[in-house]
Amino acid sequence: MPPRTVVIGVDSSTQSTKAAVTDAVTGELLAVGRAPHVVTGEGGARESDPEIWWRALCDAVAAGMKESGLAASSVTGIAVAGQQHGLVVLDRSGRPLRPALLWNDTRSAPQAAALTAALGGPEAWTARTGTVPVASMTASKWQWLRENDPASAGAAAAVRLPHDFLTERLAGVAATDPGDASGTCWYSTRTGSYDPELLSLLGLDEALLPPVAATGGVRVGSLTPSAAEALGLPAGIAVAAGTGDNMSAAVGLGLGGSGLLDHPVLSLGTSGTVFAASRTRPASTALSGFAAADGTYLPLACTLNCTLAVDKVASLFGLHRDDTSPGGEAVLLPFLDGERTPDLPLSAGLLTGLRHDTTPQQLLGAAYEGAAFTVLRAMDELLRACGLDPADPEVAARPLRLIGGGAQGRTWVETVRRLSGRPLIVPAGGELVARGAAALAASAAGGGDPVAVATGWNSTSQDTELPAVERDTETWERVGSVLDRSAGPLLGG
């Protein structure tokens, strides 16, 4: 038997790093190493020291290789998929000048609003970047940094996204990809390059930014001797450009130019995310019109409050997360950290519809319903951006792929199923972000389209398929009515 060759796909998320040791030929997941991150901040602040990400990457790779039992010489490539939008500013030696501002840091909401107005409104931004600035976007965070920490902004010798920072540590060269770059609001999905007018508006020198590779699977360099020593891997193996976490999940699912298109995916994690691969450049002010890692597009909507918010409600009532029942008349909008979709960065949670006979289980069920409704309604807008009518019976019958930690939870699955009225597919293969990164690494090491690589690896025989149930339109309309009425003064939006 020939020696096994493997690649490593890294998922550097908000809370942790996972390193998936993957057979480069079959896609078999051989081992997963894990290491935690630290997030700090109160109120709207959410920050992390990027050096923690690097140490976590080293620890996760070491743990994964130890679990696999393979020799380091079997590894041929590595790629990083990182949490989107985070702002990393570096000095001339490549060291962070300050903690990174994370995607869910909402302090930059005023800057987002000011930037939107400065260019002429949401439509002007959508025409250029595909995306309207909100607090999550990197451009808003850079503007916040200029106004609130001008010393760090002025001293910056390089500006990076989280996955860029880690890729540069691996290969010793600056690089990013179209997918993650499209989440900055200074990269144009129309031109496929940084937008000079937007950079001027932001006072940002393009020389501070990394070059944009053609795709996330392009080999941008080789593992440096110092990085190899830190990771316990061979120097010289392929380092891919990598991409953002949502783009990587799409690759891992086989979505893109050579795979499935316009099939919606709902990810239930810290945030709730819905996206689909499309060859059509989306143009909707209600969405993030991102690029994909493979050259197609990835229209996406993201909510800040998903599994963590619902778990918080469960803890308030002392309930297990599955000790629930439908909300009945109660409506709970769990906007505990502000909200991104809809754009209500100053919002708080809202509970209404209480009766004497309302139970704690119903209130927890209402939290699930509120969180699921928000992202499912965004999915309808996403389908429209792909040129599809969500009310069309053929479109409504397309399965919804459910991923993320919440996809393993009974109540999450049943709530999404009930409110969407769609058949669901829960892929059997876990760690989709890391799997997508592994496909990017395999592409960088051996050539080929990463989506085609992932499609060749995928086996759907173990996927869980759930037929559609009748849609709960009564709950849908009740939650929607409360949200629409309350999106102004009650939520502080």
Query: What residues are annotated to the active site?
Result: 245
37 annotated binding-site participant: no
- Asked if 257 and 179 count as a contact pair (C-beta separation under 8 A), the reply is no
What type of residue sits at position 386?
A: C
Q: Which two tokens stand for residue 188?
A: 């144009």
User: How far apart are alpha carbons 231 and 219 in whole angstroms?
Assistant: 19
User: How far apart are alpha carbons 46 and 229 in whole angstroms?
Assistant: 31
Pairing of β 400-403 and β 265-268: parallel
- Asked if 170 and 75 count as a contact pair (C-beta separation under 8 A), the reply is no
In this structure, the dihedral spanned by the alpha carbons of residues 101, 107, 113 and 114, taken in order and rounded to 10 degrees, is -80
User: How far apart are alpha carbons 240 and 183 in whole angstroms?
Assistant: 19
Element (H, E) at 48: strand 47-48
Q: How far apart, in Å, are the Cα atoms of 454 and each of 139, 217, 248, 323?
A: 32, 12, 11, 37
361 annotated binding-site participant: no
* Cis, bond preceding 489 (omega within 30 deg of 0): no
Count Cα neighbours of 412 within 13 Å in the Cβ-side half-sphere: 23
Pairing of β 243-244 and β 75-82: parallel
User: CB-based burial of residue 357 (10 Å sphere; 0-12 exposed, 13-18 middle, 19+ buried)?
Assistant: exposed
- Binding positions for substrate are 84-85
